[in-house]
Chains A and B, each alone.
Chain A
Amino acid sequence: MAAIVTLQTGTGFWNPLAWCIAFAIALVFAYLIWMLGEKDPGKGGDLVRPYLSGNPEPEKSAVHLRGGNLYWGFTEALHGYYSRVTPLHSGILTDYLLWFLGVIAVVLIMVGVLA
Protein backbone atom coordinates (compact mmCIF):
# COMPACT_ATOMS: atom_id res chain seq x y z
CA MET A 1 0.00 0.00 0.00
CA ALA A 2 2.67 2.45 1.03
CA ALA A 3 4.66 1.79 -2.15
CA ILE A 4 1.63 2.41 -4.38
CA VAL A 5 0.97 5.92 -3.14
CA THR A 6 4.59 7.05 -3.12
CA LEU A 7 5.27 9.62 -5.82
CA GLN A 8 8.73 9.25 -7.35
CA THR A 9 10.13 12.62 -8.34
CA GLY A 10 13.42 11.45 -9.80
CA THR A 11 15.62 12.71 -6.99
CA GLY A 12 13.16 12.24 -4.17
CA PHE A 13 9.80 10.86 -3.23
CA TRP A 14 6.59 11.95 -1.57
CA ASN A 15 4.13 9.77 0.28
CA PRO A 16 0.76 11.43 0.92
CA LEU A 17 -0.39 8.47 3.02
CA ALA A 18 2.33 8.97 5.64
CA TRP A 19 1.47 12.66 5.71
CA CYS A 20 -2.24 11.89 6.16
CA ILE A 21 -1.53 9.50 9.02
CA ALA A 22 0.65 12.10 10.74
CA PHE A 23 -2.11 14.67 10.21
CA ALA A 24 -4.71 12.30 11.65
CA ILE A 25 -2.58 11.67 14.73
CA ALA A 26 -2.17 15.42 15.21
CA LEU A 27 -5.96 15.78 14.93
CA VAL A 28 -6.45 13.12 17.61
CA PHE A 29 -4.12 15.01 19.95
CA ALA A 30 -5.93 18.25 19.23
CA TYR A 31 -9.22 16.54 20.03
CA LEU A 32 -7.82 15.17 23.29
CA ILE A 33 -6.66 18.62 24.36
CA TRP A 34 -10.04 20.06 23.41
CA MET A 35 -11.69 17.36 25.54
CA LEU A 36 -9.86 18.69 28.61
CA GLY A 37 -11.62 22.02 28.28
CA GLU A 38 -14.95 23.23 29.64
CA LYS A 39 -17.73 21.07 28.18
CA ASP A 40 -20.54 23.60 28.17
CA PRO A 41 -19.69 27.26 28.64
CA GLY A 42 -23.38 28.20 28.73
CA LYS A 43 -25.14 30.89 26.79
CA GLY A 44 -24.08 34.02 28.60
CA GLY A 45 -21.52 35.07 31.13
CA ASP A 46 -17.85 35.86 30.99
CA LEU A 47 -16.86 32.60 29.28
CA VAL A 48 -18.42 33.47 25.93
CA ARG A 49 -17.83 37.22 25.83
CA PRO A 50 -14.69 38.46 24.03
CA TYR A 51 -12.01 39.56 26.49
CA LEU A 52 -11.25 43.22 25.77
CA SER A 53 -9.57 44.32 29.02
CA GLY A 54 -12.87 45.57 30.34
CA ASN A 55 -13.61 47.85 27.38
CA PRO A 56 -17.11 47.74 25.87
CA GLU A 57 -17.46 45.40 22.88
CA PRO A 58 -17.69 47.28 19.57
CA GLU A 59 -20.24 46.54 16.83
CA LYS A 60 -19.77 43.21 15.03
CA SER A 61 -19.13 44.89 11.67
CA ALA A 62 -16.48 47.14 13.22
CA VAL A 63 -14.54 44.14 14.53
CA HIS A 64 -14.01 42.47 11.15
CA LEU A 65 -10.75 43.30 9.42
CA ARG A 66 -11.67 44.00 5.77
CA GLY A 67 -9.73 42.50 2.88
CA GLY A 68 -8.32 45.80 1.65
CA ASN A 69 -6.47 46.34 4.92
CA LEU A 70 -4.46 43.16 4.65
CA TYR A 71 -0.94 43.21 3.21
CA TRP A 72 -0.84 46.99 3.26
CA GLY A 73 2.74 46.75 4.54
CA PHE A 74 3.71 44.33 1.79
CA THR A 75 2.52 46.54 -1.04
CA GLU A 76 3.95 49.62 0.68
CA ALA A 77 7.37 47.96 1.03
CA LEU A 78 7.32 47.00 -2.63
CA HIS A 79 6.01 50.39 -3.69
CA GLY A 80 8.78 50.80 -6.25
CA TYR A 81 7.68 47.60 -7.96
CA TYR A 82 3.94 48.15 -7.80
CA SER A 83 4.09 51.76 -8.95
CA ARG A 84 5.77 50.53 -12.13
CA VAL A 85 3.81 47.35 -12.83
CA THR A 86 0.25 48.34 -11.94
CA PRO A 87 0.03 51.23 -14.47
CA LEU A 88 0.98 48.75 -17.22
CA HIS A 89 -2.42 47.15 -16.71
CA SER A 90 -3.93 50.29 -18.17
CA GLY A 91 -7.10 48.72 -19.52
CA ILE A 92 -6.53 50.35 -22.92
CA LEU A 93 -7.01 47.89 -25.77
CA THR A 94 -4.34 49.38 -28.03
CA ASP A 95 -1.75 49.10 -25.24
CA TYR A 96 -2.53 45.40 -24.95
CA LEU A 97 -2.11 45.01 -28.71
CA LEU A 98 1.20 46.85 -28.56
CA TRP A 99 2.49 44.48 -25.86
CA PHE A 100 1.44 41.49 -27.92
CA LEU A 101 3.18 42.74 -31.07
CA GLY A 102 6.18 43.86 -29.02
CA VAL A 103 6.66 40.36 -27.63
CA ILE A 104 6.45 38.98 -31.17
CA ALA A 105 9.23 41.39 -32.20
CA VAL A 106 11.42 40.44 -29.21
CA VAL A 107 10.95 36.72 -29.80
CA LEU A 108 11.70 37.19 -33.51
CA ILE A 109 15.04 38.66 -32.50
CA MET A 110 15.71 35.92 -29.95
CA VAL A 111 14.98 33.12 -32.40
CA GLY A 112 17.26 34.80 -34.87
CA VAL A 113 14.96 35.99 -37.65
CA LEU A 114 15.80 39.65 -37.21
CA ALA A 115 19.26 40.82 -36.21
Chain B
Amino acid sequence: MLYDLPFLAAALLMVIGIATMLLRRNLIKVVMGLSLVEAGVNLLLVALGYRGGGIAPIFTNAPQDLMVLPTVQAMTLTNIVIGIATTALMLSFVMVIYRRYGTADADAVRRLRG
Protein backbone atom coordinates (compact mmCIF):
# COMPACT_ATOMS: atom_id res chain seq x y z
CA MET B 1 0.00 0.00 0.00
CA LEU B 2 2.76 2.39 0.99
CA TYR B 3 4.54 1.75 -2.30
CA ASP B 4 1.36 2.58 -4.19
CA LEU B 5 1.06 6.02 -2.64
CA PRO B 6 3.16 7.84 -5.27
CA PHE B 7 1.00 6.32 -8.01
CA LEU B 8 -2.17 7.39 -6.26
CA ALA B 9 -0.74 10.87 -5.81
CA ALA B 10 0.16 11.00 -9.49
CA ALA B 11 -3.34 9.90 -10.51
CA LEU B 12 -4.86 12.45 -8.12
CA LEU B 13 -2.69 15.24 -9.56
CA MET B 14 -3.69 14.33 -13.11
CA VAL B 15 -7.39 14.21 -12.24
CA ILE B 16 -7.21 17.54 -10.42
CA GLY B 17 -5.40 19.03 -13.40
CA ILE B 18 -7.94 17.76 -15.92
CA ALA B 19 -10.83 18.89 -13.72
CA THR B 20 -9.25 22.36 -13.48
CA MET B 21 -8.94 22.54 -17.25
CA LEU B 22 -12.58 21.58 -17.73
CA LEU B 23 -14.22 23.52 -14.91
CA ARG B 24 -12.28 26.78 -14.81
CA ARG B 25 -13.11 29.38 -17.40
CA ASN B 26 -10.03 31.55 -17.00
CA LEU B 27 -7.46 30.67 -19.64
CA ILE B 28 -4.58 31.17 -17.19
CA LYS B 29 -6.18 28.55 -14.95
CA VAL B 30 -6.60 26.20 -17.91
CA VAL B 31 -2.85 26.47 -18.48
CA MET B 32 -2.30 25.90 -14.75
CA GLY B 33 -4.41 22.75 -14.96
CA LEU B 34 -2.25 21.58 -17.82
CA SER B 35 0.84 22.12 -15.66
CA LEU B 36 -0.78 20.00 -12.94
CA VAL B 37 -1.38 17.16 -15.40
CA GLU B 38 2.23 17.45 -16.44
CA ALA B 39 3.36 17.29 -12.79
CA GLY B 40 1.23 14.18 -12.33
CA VAL B 41 2.82 12.46 -15.31
CA ASN B 42 6.28 13.43 -14.07
CA LEU B 43 5.53 12.00 -10.65
CA LEU B 44 4.29 8.79 -12.24
CA LEU B 45 7.50 8.50 -14.26
CA VAL B 46 9.75 9.05 -11.24
CA ALA B 47 7.70 6.67 -9.12
CA LEU B 48 8.08 3.97 -11.78
CA GLY B 49 11.84 4.31 -11.61
CA TYR B 50 12.08 3.64 -7.88
CA ARG B 51 13.86 0.44 -6.98
CA GLY B 52 13.96 -0.47 -3.29
CA GLY B 53 17.56 -0.56 -2.08
CA GLY B 54 18.86 0.44 -5.51
CA ILE B 55 22.10 2.33 -5.92
CA ALA B 56 22.16 5.66 -7.73
CA PRO B 57 24.22 5.49 -10.93
CA ILE B 58 27.03 7.77 -9.74
CA PHE B 59 30.18 5.93 -10.68
CA THR B 60 32.58 7.60 -8.23
CA ASN B 61 32.43 5.83 -4.86
CA ALA B 62 29.68 3.43 -5.92
CA PRO B 63 29.72 0.48 -3.53
CA GLN B 64 29.17 -2.05 -6.31
CA ASP B 65 28.85 -2.30 -10.06
CA LEU B 66 25.13 -2.98 -10.11
CA MET B 67 23.29 0.35 -10.31
CA VAL B 68 19.83 1.53 -11.28
CA LEU B 69 19.42 2.57 -14.90
CA PRO B 70 18.34 6.26 -14.75
CA THR B 71 16.09 6.16 -17.82
CA VAL B 72 12.94 7.52 -16.18
CA GLN B 73 14.85 10.25 -14.41
CA ALA B 74 16.24 11.37 -17.76
CA MET B 75 12.74 11.20 -19.24
CA THR B 76 11.34 13.28 -16.40
CA LEU B 77 14.03 15.94 -16.80
CA THR B 78 13.30 16.08 -20.54
CA ASN B 79 9.60 16.41 -19.88
CA ILE B 80 10.16 19.20 -17.34
CA VAL B 81 12.12 21.15 -19.93
CA ILE B 82 9.45 20.54 -22.60
CA GLY B 83 6.80 21.53 -20.04
CA ILE B 84 8.51 24.84 -19.31
CA ALA B 85 8.68 25.63 -23.01
CA THR B 86 5.02 24.80 -23.67
CA THR B 87 3.77 26.57 -20.53
CA ALA B 88 5.75 29.70 -21.38
CA LEU B 89 4.42 29.65 -24.95
CA MET B 90 0.81 29.18 -23.83
CA LEU B 91 1.01 31.85 -21.12
CA SER B 92 2.39 34.32 -23.65
CA PHE B 93 -0.50 33.40 -25.97
CA VAL B 94 -2.96 34.14 -23.15
CA MET B 95 -1.20 37.47 -22.53
CA VAL B 96 -1.54 38.49 -26.17
CA ILE B 97 -5.18 37.38 -26.20
CA TYR B 98 -5.92 39.39 -23.05
CA ARG B 99 -4.28 42.44 -24.55
CA ARG B 100 -6.19 42.21 -27.85
CA TYR B 101 -9.56 40.91 -26.66
CA GLY B 102 -9.64 42.53 -23.23
CA THR B 103 -10.59 39.22 -21.62
CA ALA B 104 -9.07 35.84 -20.83
CA ASP B 105 -12.39 34.07 -20.29
CA ALA B 106 -12.59 30.83 -22.29
CA ASP B 107 -16.27 31.49 -23.03
CA ALA B 108 -15.48 34.87 -24.54
CA VAL B 109 -12.39 33.90 -26.54
CA ARG B 110 -14.34 32.39 -29.43
CA ARG B 111 -14.00 34.54 -32.50
CA LEU B 112 -13.21 31.39 -34.48
CA ARG B 113 -16.24 29.13 -34.62
CA GLY B 114 -18.76 27.50 -36.96
Using CB atoms and an 8 Å cutoff, list the residues of chain A in contact with chain B: 86, 89-94, 97-98, 101
Contacts and interface: CB of A to CB of B under 8 A. Distances in A.
B104 to A, nearest CB: 11
29 contacts: A86-B114, A89-B113, A89-B114, A90-B110, A90-B113, A91-B109, A91-B110, A91-B111, A91-B112, A91-B113, A91-B114, A92-B106, A92-B107, A92-B109, A92-B110, A93-B27, A93-B30, A93-B106, A93-B109, A94-B21, A94-B22, A94-B25, A94-B30, A94-B106, A97-B21, A97-B22, A98-B22, A101-B18, A101-B22
Interface residues of B, number: 14
A97 B22 CA distance: 7
Contacts of B21: 94, 97
Give the secondary structure class of A's interface.
helix
Interface in B75-106: 106
Contacts of B111: 91
A94 B107 CA distance: 8
A97 B25 CA distance: 12
Nearest to B107: A92
Contacts of A97: 21-22
A98 B21 CA distance: 9
Contacts of A92: 106-107, 109-110
Nearest to B108: A92
Contacts of B22: 94, 97-98, 101
Interface string B20-57: 01100101001000000000000000000000000000
A66 B107 CA distance: 32
B80 to A, nearest CB: 23
Contacts of A89: 113-114
Given A86-B114, A92-B110, A94-B106, 19 more contacts: A89-B114, A90-B110, A90-B113, A91-B109, A91-B110, A91-B111, A91-B112, A91-B113, A91-B114, A92-B106, A92-B107, A92-B109, A93-B106, A93-B109, A94-B22, A94-B30, A97-B21, A98-B22, A101-B22
